Structure 1
Amino acid sequence: MVTREGATRFDPQTGEVLTAPARRRGHRAEAGRLAWPLPLALGIIGGIGWQLGLGWAAVPLLLGAALALLDARPLLAVLALLGGGLGYGSAHLQAREPDRIAPWIGALVTLRGHWDGQFLTLDEPKARVALAPKPRQGPGEVVVAGRLIRPDGRRIPGGFDQAAWLRSQGGLLVPTPKAVLVRAEVKKHVPERGLRGWFRRGLSAHLSPRNAALMTAVELGERGDIGRETFDEGFSVRDAFARAGLAHLMALSGQNVALLTGTLIWLLGWLGARPSWRYGLPAALLPFYLLLLVGATPSITRAVLMGGVALLALMVGRGRPDPLGIVALTASACLLLFPLWLLDVGFQLSFLAVLGLLLSGKLADRLPQRWPQWLKLALAATVLAELATLPVIAHNFGQLPLVGLPANLLAAPIMAVLVPLGFLAGLLGPAGGLVNWAVAPLASALLWVAQTFGSAPVLGWGTLGAGGFLAYALAAVAGMGWLLGRVRGQAALTIALACAALSWLPAQLRPARELVFLDVGQGDATLLRVPGLTMLVDGGGSVGSDYDVGRGTVLPALRALGVRKLDVVVATHADTDHIEGLSSVLRGLPVGELWVGQLKKAGDDPVLDAVLTAARERNVPVRQIRRGDQVTAGPVKVTALWPVGNVWSTADNDNSVALRVEDGPFRAALLGDLPDPAEALIGPGHLTLLKAAHHGSRYSTGEVLLKQTKPKDVLISVGRNTYGHPTQAVLDRIAAAGAKVWRTDQVGTVRWPLP
């Protein structure tokens, strides 16, 4: 019966009579498609960015409010503003955390605490510090000596911002590491006991060192041991995984949680357990897995929280919850506890990959129907995860894998068996060998996939600017519109190609013209790049350390600068701090020619031998340079000033390659470690810029050279050292000559534009 006009309505599709309240509820259900945690998460991101003083902080706040208003739910806009306040407050509280280690900065100390493979947690005071170099010993109780210093920021393009990373590793419940113990020497080590110690022994039982290192990385996320492993070709296992697009396999993430919980759910189902047990038991075990075994890193924390929410929903019969809502709720929880995870690359990659996976079903539906469904889903998931993380990988690592799709398709089934088996071996502890007979061939197969695909070329990419991120965002929106059926494929492709062209054109229209003096610590590495010539002079090195400066510092810097090949590499002389890093450079980038000053007999100098071996492996011609040799590129001319034709001395420094760079009125001289009196004989003429020889040693940059060259500026490449470089005598001589000093230990990398 109709009591008032319009109070009831007949629905011809369902046959139901809808009352006015029912219609209003239906309208709200249709309008309320926005998951409420999304504006909250956007607000929290904006609040953290606001506290950190980031210029884009207002964007997520406004976006969250706008989405709420467009969804006709203004209360969600208030939630976005509340999230902004919570994010700001969380970041503010972390910034006010007391620095308990401050009184000992700069001092030689002996510390006692628990080493977890990443940080040393001190017994007293309650604080955490990083160790450099990382101990070769595994996690456990340690006594370690060294000097406490403040961490460095990013001092080189594409380099590691240690200070920012350490800040991101603390939170409201965990102290932030505020110092680094350098030249760390372990005095005492007691291997880790308890669950983690038991588990680690099971992972390595009866396995080769390389397979054991891989399993420790795959199951516990500890990559210290695998980072020291190399393949026969000379490149590291970690590099191979990265070049093959498989680096995520050694970072604990949703894949581990999905495989382990999936295996347990299948086993409980096979045993006939009820849904409350089948889903409730894995959900209950996840917090113990996170807190007692693997630790709270960004990617695994995200995976555990998301997995726990999904399992609880299945346990109570709510079915599959809204995936975007779970992602937003998980991000909110993570960022409120660890606000600076927002700037952590692992956090960004983890959430971007998941957001990409949310659309994998849409892409799978567009693939040919005759293909198997599992293959379509695997292809779609891999492609979208790689596309979603593309800008972060390109920006932070300077290269993009080209073989990630086939490598992941081969690695996925191996991981599906390897992760549960490895976990079982860990649970068995010393008896893990009962399972590791099956783990060993699977681990070897995974290493073979990484080695095979890791030898493939990669696409070099420079650091992205704001324009690059904007271009990617426009292309991503167009791609999402196509997947959701709101943008035609031709239009989406046109937008994507236009964005790619716009991001590629600026570098072509205004190619770089500069000298770049890379901050490689106590060493030398100078890059000259002009149209037609890219030359690297020396590649740094670490005397008495196993840190690979070429792989860890120089190559990332070159990639960040957009260098995809080197026409000439110069090894000035056979000192470790100048040429040790060139071996990795020669293996990591195409090189046209290697210049050396004085060749030695094989076996006379192992560092030079390693560089020459790398050149032979890559078929790089080796040229012995003499005074007068030169190379030109347009108006730029590089001339060798030293060594002369005859052997001047048997000392390495006396035979350093010295170069003069000329570009119109600009003149610069790069002198290696050339000492006085040899430097006074090279005759470089008047100079705009002099790169001081031998890091400011008192034996170089003499008065005669300064009077001859009359430089306006002097560059000293130097780092922390015990030699007293640069000496006060050299600084006084430069000041007397009226030149300005630039030091890499004070200002970091120096980029000197050419006319």
Structure 2
Amino acid sequence: MVTGHDPQTGEVRPPPPGSRAQGGRLAWSVPLALGMVGGILLHLGLSWGALALLAGTLLSVLDARPLLASLVLLGAVLGFGSAHLQAREPDRMAPWVGALVTLRGHWDGQFLTLDDPAARVALAPKPKQGPGELVVSGRLIRPEGRRTPGGFDQAAWLRSQGGLLVPTPKTVLVRAEVKRHVPEQGLRGWFRRGLSAGLPSRPAALMTAVELGERGDIGRESFDEGFSVRDAFARAGLAHLMALSGQNVALLTGTLIWLLGALGARPVWKYGLPAALLPVYLLLLVGATPSITRAVLMGGAALLALMVGRGRLDPLGVVALAAVACLLLFPLWLLDIGFQLSFLAVLGLLLSGRLAERLPARWPRALRLALSATVLAELATLPVIAHTFGELPLVGLPANLLAAPLMAALVPLGFVAGLLGPAGGLVNWAVAPLASALLWVAQTFGSAPVLTWGNLGAGGFVAYALAAAAGAGWLLGRVRGQAALTAALACAALTWLPGQLRPPRELVFLDVGQGDATLLRVPGLTMLIDGGGSVGSDYDVGRGTVLPALRALGVRKLDVVVATHADTDHVEGLSSVLRGLPVGELWVGHLKKPGEDPVLDAVLSAAHERKVPVRELRRGDRVTAGPVSVTALWPAGHVWSTEDNDNSVALRVEDGEFRAALLGDLPDPAEALVGAGDLTLLKAAHHGSRFSTGEALLRQTTPSDVLISVGRNTYGHPTRAVLDRIAAAGAKVWRTDELGTVRWPLP
């Protein structure tokens, strides 16, 4: 894993010909790491684990050292055992699940850590107060899994946040109400005060994210245009700047090494002191997260090698060794998006020197290295970002090139300000303009368009891996450029072709909680009926749930968006949808006068901003796409009453012998007057309210299936009376609160 190094001259010498290092080029930690990955995945019941074990074995054989394959087996045992031990950890909060409780513990911005019992609990919504001692009350519940395409799998994420030395959070305190808060003291409290001393709120929130990885404050900051600072960083391809990683470790240790070198320190101090301080930085200041833990382990190994004069370590071997250490203690970090992006980015960076050599030699070397590192890090993380977030930044390269020098100054300056505590203002006069410049970069590039992407299937990941292998082979000089390009294009074509040969034909009933959002997509027509909403909450369902789901499903534009009526739980989310995707037309059942309904006004304002035509829908209006037709059944051509529900848009979807009716919130008797006809599928009106889905409607429509869009609520939806009426009609009930998102294929 090392090469020769002359401690006097600093020259790195390759091993002599015929030496063992030349004969066996694969570091022993690589098959061990692949074995651990395979063992963890197999424990989780994922067949990908077998591929990881096979890859480790093949690499050992190809390296002409088959005995290394024994390390694959050892790694599999360690990974499986570590995951098994974590899974057996008892849930100490289980006796209180479902109860109203008051908890006292330390809030770190992510979890509430309790002393008795020794457990960690997630809070929803997250308190606006910063880290410190909290007394908080609410109801303790089990976390939910992924309920919409592209949605957040809270249960899986919580499972990944524990380890052999840290309790795994297994419960969530909902409607968390803070009763008492004492700001954090000690080193972290001192450091945090220094970061914000003398700074306006937005730069202060940015520096807290950059130096401590705490993004709670920056998540509440918005630019004047209305979009959040956090979203701007993501859309600009700069989200990694707010996640502690190797960049922080490299800049801080590099600055310290430069200062010690200027003072004439010997190598044992020049490299040993930064190596000794890294664990202090990790454990006492920033905390163990996947990306920073990986960076500290790799940085510490490199510094120790330099300290003892062993030269440059094998980069791939160090990456694998860091993965082994992380996964041994935190096995389910393997499923954490931060862990995946951190290691993928580093693997991409390992080839940046090779790519820089292929760029024009007349370009400055620093520019060639910066371009190579940015491009390869983005390419290496591309499939995970596309799959997880449903969109890819298009301006990441120029944004990162502008942000890099700003970060090179901000990270060490901010660290000094933090060390000064309340006196951090002595340094923050220089931090303020740099932070403002970085925010300007994010704001400017964050307003650029992004490329939307759908969820990747197993075939997509395999195709990308093959294309990446071909590209890496070209950079290493083992594959001709033409062959690598052909392989990449072939893989892209193979992933693009199935969607063109078999385009989706389905109704998708999105789980948006107590609300409605239905997607119809067939060749030639993509229609969203309602976009959910959150009554009495500042959570943006459109931005946080509906848009990610649409992107995960591969929806890049909407031909029609329908606002059935002005209720918050149906149309509030449409404002973000209209701003987030191209929309051909907005249909509204009852246009009110401006000022009569603020929620509908917001939707119409968003349509006006994006120049989306607005159409007031009436019975008989129709749109067709091949054999599929969508017909308006209601409103009848006049305002039925002053109640929004009475004027709700009702639609019938027909595709051959398949017929479905979507009735919004229409009550009885209006629902029985729409003339829905014989139905295959009925979407029950008003979430199963006792005032809808009456016997007359069920007799007229005789549906075989009834879909109820409903979430956790205090209204008693769906009522027992409605469920009994549906059962008496002989129809099967499908509920989004029980099943999550329901995808209904069309013939």
Instruction: Give TM-score, length-normalised by structure 1.
Output: 0.95
Deviation of the 1:734 alpha carbon: 0.6
Using the TM superposition, give the Cα deviation of residue 25 of structure 1 relative to its aligned residue in structure 2, in angstroms.
9.2
Alignment of 1:280-679 (within 5 A): 280-679=272-671
Q: 2:37 aligns with which of 45, 60, 81?
A: 45
Q: Distance in 2 between matches of 1:650 and 1:204?
A: 52
**Structure 1: stretches of 5+ with no match in the other structure:** 1-22
Alpha-carbon shift at residue 321 of structure 1 (Å)? 0.8
Give deviations 1:607-642, integer Å, cap 9, x for gaps.
Answer: 222212211221111111122212111111111111
Q: Which runs of 4+ in 1 moved over 4 A?
A: none
Partner secondary structure for residue 535 of structure 2:
coil
CA distance in 1, matches of 2:737, 2:29: 46
| Equivalent in the alignment of 1:716 | 708
Which of 265, 271, 274 lines up with 1:279 in the alignment? Answer: 271
Distance 2:72 2:703 in 1: 58
Moved more, 366-375 or 670-679: 670-679
1:240 shift after superposition: 1.3
Equivalent residue runs for 1:115-264 within 5 Å: 115-264=107-256
User: Distance between the aligned counterparts of 1:66 and 1:31, measured in 2?
Assistant: 17
Aligned-partner residue type, residue 102 of structure 1 = A
Gaps of 5+ in 2: 1-14
Work out the percentage of aligned pairs sharing the same amino acid.
86
Q: Which moves more between the two structures, 347-356 or 206-215? A: 206-215
**Alignment partner of 1:95 is 2:87:** yes
Cα shift at 1:123: 2.5
Aligned partner of 2:734 in structure 1 is: 742
Q: Which residue of 2 aligns with 1:684?
A: 676
Q: Distance in 1 between matches of 2:366 and 2:216?
A: 35
Distance 2:207 2:281 in 1: 17
* 1:106-117 equivalent positions in 2, closer than 5 A: 106-117=98-109
Tell me the distance in 2 between the aligned counterparts of 1:617 and 1:213: 30
Question: d(CA) in 1 for partners of 2:586 and 2:185?
Answer: 51
The one-letter code matched in structure 2 to 1:754 is: L
Between 1:364-373 and 1:660-669, the stretch displaced more is 660-669
- Could you say what the CA RMSD is over the residues aligned between the two structures, in angstroms? 1.4
Deviation of 1:691 (Å): 0.6
In the alignment, which residue of structure 2 is the partner of 1:11? none
Distance 1:558 1:384 in 2: 28
Distance (whole Å) between structure 2 residues aligned to residue 528 and residue 235 of structure 1: 28
Q: Distance in 1 between matches of 2:600 and 2:698?
A: 31
The CA deviation string for residues 328-360 of structure 1, in whole angstroms up to 9 with x for no partner, is 000000000000011111101100000000000
Partner residue, 1:18: none
Rounded Cα–Cα distance in structure 1 between residues aligned with 2:734 and 2:690? 17
Deviation of residue 266 (structure 1)? Answer: 1.2
Deviations 1:238-269 (A, max 9, x none): 11111111111111111111111111111222
Instruction: Report the Cα distance in structure 1 between the residues aligned to 2:433 and 2:607, rounded to whole angstroms.
Output: 34
- Aligned equivalents of 1:236, 1:451: Cα separation in 2: 9
Name the SS for the 2:136 alignment partner. strand
Aligned residue among 262, 266, 286 for 2:258: 266
Amino acid at match of 2:589: G
Give the corresponding residue for 1:727.
Answer: 719
Among 689, 693, 696, the residue aligned to 1:697: 689
Structure 1 distance, partners of 2:262, 2:304, is 20
Paired AA for residue 354 in structure 2: K
Task: Give the aligned partner of residue 3 of structure 1.
Answer: none
Opposite residue 396 of structure 1, the aligned amino acid is: T
CA distance in 1, matches of 2:79, 2:69: 15
The corresponding residue for 1:12 is none
Cα deviation, residue 471, structure 1: 0.9
| One-letter amino acid matched to 2:187 | L
Amino acid at match of 2:616: Q
Instruction: Give CA deviations for 1:374-430 in whole Å, capped at 9, x if unaligned.
Output: 000000000100111111111111111111111111111111111111111111112
The amino acid across from 1:562 in the alignment is G
Distance 1:641 1:233 in 2: 39
SS of corresponding position for 1:738: coil
Measured against aligned partners, the alpha-carbon deviations of 1:421-464 in whole angstroms (never above 9, x if no partner) come to 11111111122222222212111111111111111111111111
Distance in 2 separating the partners of 1:229 and 1:324: 39
Q: Normalization by structure 2: what TM-score?
A: 0.97
| Matched residue, 1:4 | none
Aligned letter for 1:110?
A: T
| Shift of residue 27, structure 1, vs aligned partner | 5.2
Aligned-pair distance for 1:504? 0.6
* Deviating more after overlay: 717-726 vs 197-206: 197-206
Q: 1:293 to 1:27 in 2, by over 3 A?
A: closer
Which residue does 2:9 correspond to in 1?
A: none
1:19 maps to none
Q: Which residue of 1 aligns with 2:7?
A: none
- How far is 1:678 from its partner? 1.4
Once the two structures are TM-superposed, the CA of residue 24 in structure 1 deviates from its matched residue by 12
Deviates more, 1:707-716 or 1:232-241: 232-241
**1:421 and 1:25 mapped to 2: Cα distance?**
46
Structure 1 counterpart of 2:53? 61
Offset of residue 62 of structure 1: 2.4
What CA deviation, in whole Å up to 9, does each residue of 1:290-346 have, x standing for no partner?
111111110111011111111111111112111111000000000000000111111
